[in-house]
Structure 1
Amino acid sequence: MPDRAPPPQSLLNSLPQRSELQRRDPAPVHLWHPELSGEMDMRIARDGTWYHEGDPIKRLALAQLFSTILRLDEDGRYYLVTPVERWGIQVDDAPFVATGLTVSGQGEQQQLTFTTNLEDSIPLDADHPLRVELDPQTGEPSPYLRVRANLDALISRTVFYELVDLAVETEVADQLRTGVWSGGQFFPMDGAE
C-alpha cells in the first residue's frame, strides 16, 4: 500500500497544544515561511484585547495560544504563522500590554519584571529592553518593552507611573538621563536620543 500524504493542516489544528496548567514557549515562527493564506478578521486592540470577527476573544487560553504563533514581518505587518499557513491580522499598536510590575533588589542591582495581559513574565534586561517614544505633536510618552523577537508590549499608564516613581538620573555618554536600573543595566526613559 503506498504511503499517503498527511492531511493538510489548518491554522487551528496546527497551533501548539497546551493545557491550562502548562504554558508553552512561542513556536519557532521565524523558521516558517509559507505563502500568504489571506487576511483574517482578527485584531489586537491597543488595550491588548484580541478580537475575532468583531467579538472579543473571552478565553484567555485561546488568546495565549494565538500569541505563540504571532510574528511581525519586515513589511511591518503582523501574521499568525504555522508551517503551512500565514494569515495577516491587524494590531492597533503593540500586540501585548504590560499590566503589572514587580521590583526586587534596589539601586543598580534591582530587577524589574513585567507581567503582560496574557500572563507572560518579562524581565527588563538586555534581551528585553525598554524604549519610550514621544508623540511629536503632544510630547506624550508611549513606553514599550521588548517581549520577544521584534514583538513589543505597550506599558500601561499605571505601570508607567510606577516606573516613573523608580526613575533616577544617571550620566550616559556625558549626558544626564532619566531612567531605571534593571538587571545591572540602565534604561533611559526620557525619550531623548
Structure 2
Amino acid sequence: MPYTPPPELAALSLTEIAALVAERKVPPIGEWTPAETVESGIAIHADGSWYHEGGRITRPAMVRAFSSLLVRDAEGRHWLCTPHQRHAITVADAAFIAVDVVATGGALAFRLNTDDTVIAGPDHPLRAAGSAEAPALYLAVRHGCEARINRSTWLQLAELAEPDWTVTSQGQRFSLVPQ
C-alpha cells in the first residue's frame, strides 16, 4: 500500500490537525513487558537519520514504522520495543526532529521528520536546553521520546514569540531559551 504524505500544516485548521494526530495509530508499547533485551545495531544520528550496522536506512516507511516502536526509559536509554524483545537504540541527541511548525487556533502544531504531527501543550511540552547563546529546544513526543526543534523551525517559533521569548500553546507557556 503506497504511503500518502500528510498535507502541509499551514493549510490546516487546528481541528484538522487534531484529526491527523488522532488518526495516527501507534502500537500499545506501554502495555508490553518484553522479557528479552538485545542490541539492535540501530543508531539515530543528531540530524535525525537512521542507521543499521553503519548503513543508512533509506526507506522512509521503515523509519516511520520503527519510530512508532520507540521508547525512552528513566535512565535516558532508547529502545525499539516489541511484545517480546526490547532492542537497544543509540540516539545521538533526540529520537525525532521537528521540521515545521504552524500556529493555529491557540496551539502550536509541529511536523516531525517521520511525518508525525504533535500539538504542543500539557501532554507535549516544549523544553529549552543549552545556553542563551546556543539554545536547544525539544518537544515531548511519546513514550519519553523527544523531538529536537531544528534551526528553521526554531526561527519560526522566534517570530511567534512574545518579547520575553516565550510561546503559548493550548494555554501552556513555554520559554524558547534556557532559564
**TM-score (ref. length: structure 2):** 0.82
Matched, 1:20 2:16: no
Matched, 1:122 2:118: yes
Corresponding position of 1:152: 146
Measure how far apart 1:21 and its partner are. 4.8
**SS where residue 75 of structure 1 aligns?**
coil
Corresponding position of 2:161: 167
Q: CA RMSD in A?
A: 2.0
Corresponding position of 1:44: 44
Instruction: Report the structure number with the largest CA radius of gyration.
Output: 1
**Distance verdict in 2 for CA 1:179–1:67, change over 3 Å:** same
Corresponding position of 2:9: none
**SS where residue 37 of structure 1 aligns?**
strand
Measure how far apart 1:37 and its partner are. 3.2
**Which shows bigger deviation, 25-34 or 114-123?**
25-34
Percent identity of paired positions between Structure 1 and Structure 2: 36
Q: For the residues of structure 2 that align with 1:92 and 1:36, how far apart are their CA atoms?
A: 24
Q: For the residues of structure 2 that align with 1:115 and 1:52, how far apart are their CA atoms?
A: 24
Q: For the residues of structure 2 that align with 1:46 and 1:94, how far apart are their CA atoms?
A: 7
Corresponding position of 1:91: 91
Q: Which has the higher helix share?
A: 2
**Distance verdict in 2 for CA 1:155–1:113, change over 3 Å:** same
Structure 1 runs (4+) deviating above 4 angstroms are: 21-24
1:26–1:67 contact (8 Å) kept in structure 2:
no
1:124–1:182 contact (8 Å) kept in structure 2:
yes
Q: How many residues align?
A: 162
Q: Where does the alignment leave 5 or more consecutive residues of structure 1 unmatched?
A: 1-17, 170-176
2:70–2:143 contact (8 Å) kept in structure 1:
no
